């Protein structure tokens, strides 16, 4: 998501912060006194900014690769300045109208060299009290059900990590609308994966919405680093999103495909074999059957909407293409 044009920044306050893990948190943004956020549609995003972020600068290594390192002043202290980025909104429109806040699910970004994300690092340094966060008073984006899923009878939503955010907004709004008697004749399936159970944000809320049966909604949660308790949880699957989707369609793991490709090309297979050894064997939650899913995902009426890790989205597109299912993703 990129910022374009001249932005008019408004002052807001981060409230109700909840830490899920050292790298994941949720907070709500309250607008400046007396103001309201613009109307929006689930799946859209808004630009946020903090003014005292640790800045970085681009350097080129001896190998010709670019990287970003902390930008230090003459005394060796980090230079501070404003940084802006757009974030998908987790709250549903009805919640914002009722409570006046927007909710965000953010990750502490870190590159391969360990350099923290400039804005996300600032979010995680906020105190437990209220902290200032600026926002552009404009909400935009076309990653919405109306734009990407219109005309389909089955919608498969795949959210990895904080890529879950737009789908939570969609599901909560669909649930609210259904309670008001507005139910669309569409099947919605949410595949939600993260590393650990503690990092499955909104897990209990999504289970409750599924259990309410206000609309046709199937929730599939999975962890890629399962602990002993996870194996015993009948409502929890195992494996990364792309491999769990491959499992649904009786396809080999991505790591298996990569190993076979390396062998066929006569390449060194040590890395591919190590990756396969580390891969978690995918398993569906106990209440979900593969046959049920194959019925729901009839290619003639299904679309896949995906948001999250770029490598996972690329492989999920491969799976969708292999079964002639239309694929849409959120472009960051």
Q: Read off the DSSP letter of residue 104.
A: E
- Are residues 57 and 79 located together in one domain of the fold? yes
Q: Which domain holds residue 292?
A: 145-329
For position 248, which CATH number holds? 3.40.50.80
- Are residues 192 and 324 located together in one domain of the fold? yes
- Are residues 95 and 126 located together in one domain of the fold? yes
Which residues are bridge partners to 9 per DSSP? 136
- Are residues 290 and 225 located together in one domain of the fold? yes
CB atoms under 10 Å from CB of 77, counted, come to 10
Establish if 2 belongs to a structural domain. no
CB atoms under 10 Å from CB of 11, counted, come to 12
- Are residues 167 and 307 located together in one domain of the fold? yes
Boundary (domain end) residue, out of 119, 140, 161: 140
Establish if 258 belongs to a structural domain. yes
Distance CA 43, CA 92 (A): 9
- Are residues 149 and 124 located together in one domain of the fold? no
Distance CA 188, CA 219 (A): 9
**CA within 13 Å, CB half, 131:** 18
- Are residues 185 and 66 located together in one domain of the fold? no
- Are residues 131 and 149 located together in one domain of the fold? no
Q: Is the pTM of this model over 0.75?
A: yes
Boundary (domain end) residue, out of 140, 163, 181: 140
Residue entry with tokens 């929730």: 219
- Are residues 152 and 263 located together in one domain of the fold? yes
Boundary (domain end) residue, out of 120, 140, 160: 140
- Are residues 201 and 293 located together in one domain of the fold? yes
327's enclosing H/E stretch is strand 327-329
Exposed/middle/buried for 5, CB within 10 Å: 0-12, 13-18, 19+? Answer: exposed
Report the domain count for the chain: 2
Establish if 3 belongs to a structural domain. no
In sequence order, which residues have a C-beta less than 8 Å from that of residue 148 and are 6 or more positions away? 43, 142, 303, 305, 328
Distance CA 255, CA 273 (A): 8
Establish if 1 belongs to a structural domain. no
- Are residues 28 and 133 located together in one domain of the fold? yes
- Are residues 213 and 100 located together in one domain of the fold? no
pLDDT in tens, the chain (332 residues): 445 455 689 999 999 999 999 999 999 999 987 789 999 999 999 999 999 898 988 888 878 888 888 888 888 888 999 999 999 999 999 999 999 999 999 999 887 667 788 999 999 988 765 689 999 999 999 999 999 999 999 999 999 999 999 999 999 999 999 999 999 899 999 999 999 999 999 999 999 999 999 999 999 999 999 999 888 999 999 999 999 999 999 999 999 999 999 999 999 999 999 999 999 999 999 989 999 999 999 999 999 999 998 889 999 999 999 999 999 999 75
């Amino acid at each position: 998501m990129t910022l374009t044009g001249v932005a008019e920044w408004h002052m807001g306050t981060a409230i109700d912060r909840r830490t899920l893990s050292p790298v994941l948190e949720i907070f709500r943004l309250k607008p400046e006194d007396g103001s309201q956020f613009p109307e929006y549609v689930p799946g859209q995003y808004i630009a946020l900014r903090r003014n005292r972020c640790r800045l970085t600068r681009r350097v080129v290594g001896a190998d010709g690769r670019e990287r970003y390192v902390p930008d230090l002043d003459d005394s060796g202290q980090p230079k501070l300045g404003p940084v802006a980025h757009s974030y998908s909104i987790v709250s549903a429109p009805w919640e914002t109208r009722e409570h006046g806040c927007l909710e965000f699910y953010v990750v502490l970004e870190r590159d391969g060299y360990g350099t923290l994300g400039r804005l996300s690092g600032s979010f995680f340094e906020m105190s437990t009290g209220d902290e200032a966060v600026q926002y552009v008073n404009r909400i935009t984006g076309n990653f919405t059900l109306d734009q990407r899923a219109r005309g389909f009878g089955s919608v498969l939503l795949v959210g990895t990590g904080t890529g879950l955010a737009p789908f939570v907004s969609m599901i909560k709004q669909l649930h609210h609308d259904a309670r008001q008697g507005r139910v669309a004749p569409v099947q919605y399936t949410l595949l939600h994966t993260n590393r650990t159970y503690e990092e499955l944000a909104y897990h209990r809320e999504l289970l409750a919405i599924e259990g309410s049966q206000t609309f046709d909604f199937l929730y599939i949660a999975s962890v890629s680093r399962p602990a002993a308790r996870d194996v015993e949880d009948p409502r929890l699957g195992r494996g990364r999103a792309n491999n769990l989707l491959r499992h649904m369609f009786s396809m080999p793991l991505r790591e298996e495909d990569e190993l076979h490709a390396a062998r066929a090309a006569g390449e060194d297979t040590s890395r591919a074999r190590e990756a396969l050894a580390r891969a978690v064997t995918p398993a569906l939650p106990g209440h979900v059957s593969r046959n049920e899913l194959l019925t729901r995902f009839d290619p003639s009426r299904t679309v896949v909407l995906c948001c999250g890790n770029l490598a996972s989205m690329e492989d999920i597109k491969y799976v969708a293409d292999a079964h002639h299912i239309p694929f849409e993703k959120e472009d960051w």
